[in-house]
Amino acid sequence: MPEEDLVELKFRLYDGSDIGPFRYSPASTVAMLKERVVAEWPKDKKVTPKAANDVKLISAGKILENNKTVAQCKTPFGELPNGVITMHAVVQPSVAKAKTDFELLVMWSCKLLHIAMTLTKTPKNGSRGQGMVGSREYLDT
């Protein structure tokens, strides 16, 4: 591919530092760009992506889809002669992992609430901490 057909991109991180610039074929996909960003991510940063799915690339205010090519994402104002296009790279842990962590938090919160209710409620029969929370003897107190 002729050198003039390549698109020059750099990736701006959350702290204002950059990765790149690098030259890409217009046929390169956003997924390929994300892989490069993860590979080149500075190791001394507090926030680092673990995988390409943890990175969101933003260009011209739009989150880019993995299956789109560089040519499809290129905006008219990015076509400056010898210009470098800046994309913002944002780390966002994958939804599946975040959901799992949230579910664990909810599960443990429910268990703690159950234990606290079991220890503090007194059923009608006077025994303490026996029976099931939500049973009829607790609900009427």
Within 10 angstroms of residue 129's Cβ, the number of other Cβ atoms is: 12
> What pLDDT does residue 103 have?
67
> What pLDDT does residue 59 have?
87
Using pLDDT thresholds of 50, 70 and 90, give the confidence band for residue 110.
low
- Ordered by start, the domain boundaries in the chain are 3-93, 96-139
Using pLDDT thresholds of 50, 70 and 90, give the confidence band for residue 7.
confident
Which one is predicted more confidently, 104 or 83?
83
pLDDT at 3 exceeding the cut of 70 = no
- Give the chain's mean pLDDT: 76
pLDDT tens column, 21-67: 999 998 999 999 999 999 999 999 888 898 999 999 998 888 899 99
Residue 90 β-bridge partners: 56
Share of the chain above pLDDT 90, in %: 30
Which one is predicted more confidently, 73 or 24?
24
Question: Domain 3-93, what architecture?
Answer: Roll (3.10)
